[in-house]
Amino acid sequence: MVEFSTILAGFADAFSLYNLLFVLFGVVLGQFVGAVPGIGPIMAMAIAIPFTFGLDPLPAIAFLVGVNKGGLVGGAVPAVLMNTPGTPDAAATAMDGYPLAKQGKPLKATKMALFSSVTGDTFSDIVLITVSAPLAILALKMGPVEVCALMIFAFSILAGLIGNSLAKGIIAACLGLLAASIGQDPENFTPRLIFGYWDLFGGLALPSVAIGMLAISEILHRLSEAHGNLRPAIVAKDTGNPADRRVSWAEYWSCRYTMLRGATIGTILGALPGIGSTAAAFMSYAMTKASSKEPETFGKGNIQGIAASESANSAVVGANLIPLLTLGIPGSVGAALIISAFTIHGMQPGPLLFENQGRLVYGLFGAMIMANFVNLWVGQLGLRLWVKVVSAPESIIFSSALLLCFVGVSMATNGLFGVTIMLIFAVIGYLMASFGYSLVIFIIAFFLGPRFEKSIAQSLALTNGDLTQVLKSPVAVALLVLSAVSVVWFLKKNAQENPA
């Protein structure tokens, strides 16, 4: 168990002025990129990771968390004003936000999005802080056999939940595992699949692969569709009524159950690897509409709709870190990118993190809580400014993003070889996305691959190759059964969705 003095020291680190500045910078950057359709917090995090190389671990990770949290708030701005979600998570927000803006209440809509987002996010952070340490203690009791079974379970969940085809999900996972095989074999340390390139002996760098697949491939896609003209920013009418420019306490309080429901859905889905905030937002929206006494008002500018969507999608951010910090399994692309930041600073996320880096973990928790307040404050001040951001031309955004990716990856991998790998994976990512193969599964499988193989080797050593020994571990058996049930369930679901 982490000592109370360590917890206090972590929070003290988090609330230092130095750290606060990085959280503030991260939130401002996140809200800015979230407001620009097509960039989003994930791409911003991917680009920013190498630039955190020179920072201490806590400000570096707090900065990235700030980008992620700010991005979700910023994403609501174009969704509300232009019916163009800045991030996929904000798609459900547009359903009621845009009609409300058209009624002459754009500021009320964006402020409701901001308040619900911060509420949902804070709820999920409190859950994260409360449950992650006990879960980590439980995770530490798991041996290689249980870890191996857990990995299999994670893969089965991921493959089924992302994409419309289980086979395609499996292919994406296989490709990620194959990419992870490049470099040293984890047991014998012999070179494997390096094709004579000794730069590959240490394996493919996570920043190269992640930035290539997530940022560059998306930029390439956007570049091919770009036209260089300013997108027409919406000219929002104003009713002239001050009450339409703010959210009153009564309006906020009337949404309390909606936000609580959204935050709960977001937290539960966020804690499960691979589901994501978009699904949480739509599920919360649907449940709110279904339980409403006036379902016909949804889609016409009901603030309950905005509250449902934003509280749920923001609650996912904190909850995503539960599997990451307790089991070392990234629950989302954002969490996978935060792993890059951990590894850049020489740390391995997982249950041992609480034991070895307890102060840092609680510093991160403190930074997350602080980021919520900063998000609220920056949002209140910056909403009018972000409205102007939505009209920034794509030409400057994407050319600058490409240059930043080149420099960032070069810094993280010490040269242009890493940049070349990044471009190769950008092409792979672009083609995979074009043909409907999940990039998220690829990235998570790529990260989990070496640990998965190592746990297999350790399990075999422990059981002397006798697989019946697995039956002596109830946890492993339960996880393997769950994996089998998941696969069967997803196959059935897939068959129903795609009838022959």
Partner 1 sequence: MTTTADRISGLFFMLLGLAMYFWVNPNFIETVESGNIAPATLPNIISIILAISGAYVAIKPTTHQTRNPVLMAKTALYVALLCIGIWAMSKLGFEYVAPGLALAIMWLIGERRPLWLGLGVIAMPLLIWFLVSEVLGRALP
**What is the binding site for partner 1 (CB under 8 A)?**
51, 53-54, 164-165, 167-168, 170-171, 174-175, 177-178, 181, 185, 187-188, 190-195, 220-221, 223-229, 393-396, 398-400, 402-404, 406-407, 410-411, 415-416, 419-420, 423, 426-427, 430, 434-437, 453, 456-458, 460-461, 465, 498, 500
Least separation in angstroms between residue 36's CB and partner 1 is 14
CB of 131 to partner 1, least distance (A): 33
DSSP letter string, 383-425? HHHHHHHTT--HHHHHHHHHHHHHHHHHHHHTSHHHHHHHHHH
Closer to partner 1 by Cβ: residue 173 or 353: 173
Q: How far is the CB of 117 from partner 1 (least distance, A)?
A: 30
**Residue 180 CA: distances (Å) to CA of 154, 192, 207, 333, 412:** 16, 10, 13, 17, 18
Instruction: Identify which of residues 2 and 433 has a Cβ nearer to partner 1 in the complex.
Output: 433
Nearest to 485 by CA among 250, 142, 157: 157
Between residues 20 and 433, which has the closer beta carbon with respect to partner 1? 433
**Which distant-in-sequence residues (6+ apart) come within 8 Å of 346 by Cβ?**
none
CB of 223 or CB of 260, closer to partner 1: 223
CA–CA gap between residue 309 and residue 155 (Å, rounded): 28
User: Using CA atoms, how far apart are residues 294 and 254, in angstroms rounded to an integer?
Assistant: 14
Distance, in Å, from the CA atom of 322 to the CA atom of 330, rounded to the nearest integer, reads 9
**Phi, psi for residue 184 in degrees, rounded to 5:** -85, 140
* 285/281 Cα distance (integer angstroms): 6
What is the DSSP code string of 122-151? HHHHHHHHHHHHHHHHHHHT--HHHHHHHH
Nearer to partner 1, 10 or 274 (CB): 274
CB of 360: closest distance to partner 1 in angstroms?
A: 22
Nearest by Cα to 46 from 204, 208, 264:
208
Query: 232 or 465, CB closer to partner 1?
Result: 465
- In the complex, the smallest distance separating the C-beta of residue 431 from partner 1, rounded to whole angstroms, is 8
In the complex, the smallest distance separating the C-beta of residue 317 from partner 1, rounded to whole angstroms, is: 27
Instruction: Retrieve residue 101's tokens.
Output: 């803006």
With respect to partner 1, which residue has the nearer C-beta, 134 or 393?
Answer: 393
CA dist 359 and 249 (Å) reads 37
Q: How far apart are CA 173 and CA 156, in angstroms?
A: 10
Which alpha helices (DSSP H) does 328-351 contain, by range?
A: 333-344
Q: Can you tell me the distance from the alpha carbon of 428 to that of 371, in angstroms, rounded to the nearest whole number?
A: 35
Cα 343 versus chain centre, distance: 17
**Closer by beta carbon to partner 1, 138 or else 431:** 431
Supply the minimum distance, in Å, between the C-beta of residue 420 and partner 1.
6
Closest distance between partner 1 and the C-beta of residue 386, in Å?
Answer: 19
Minimum Å distance from CB 191 to partner 1?
A: 7
Region of 36 (left: φ > 0; alpha: ψ -120 to 50; beta: rest) is beta
135 in Cβ contact with 127 (< 8 Å): no
- For residues 27 and 371, the answer to whether their CB atoms sit within 8 Å is yes
Q: Which is nearer to partner 1, 192 or 245 (CB)?
A: 192
Query: Which structure tokens are listed for 491?
Result: 């196959």
φ/ψ region of 228 (left if φ > 0, alpha if ψ in -120 to 50, else beta) reads left
Residue 184: strand, helix, or coil:
strand
- Looking at the chain, how many residues does it have? 500
Q: How far is the CB of 401 from partner 1 (least distance, A)?
A: 10
CB of 23 to partner 1, least distance (A): 19
Q: Which is nearer to partner 1, 460 or 475 (CB)?
A: 460
Q: Which is nearer to partner 1, 178 or 352 (CB)?
A: 178
Closest to partner 1 by CB, 254 vs 400, is 400
Q: To the nearest whole angstrom, how small is the minimum distance from the Cβ of residue 152 to partner 1?
A: 12
Nearer to partner 1, 116 or 438 (CB): 438
Q: Report d(CA 117, CA 309) in Å as an integer.
A: 9
- Integer-rounded Cα radius of gyration of the chain: 22
- Minimum CB separation of residue 402 from partner 1 in Å reads 7
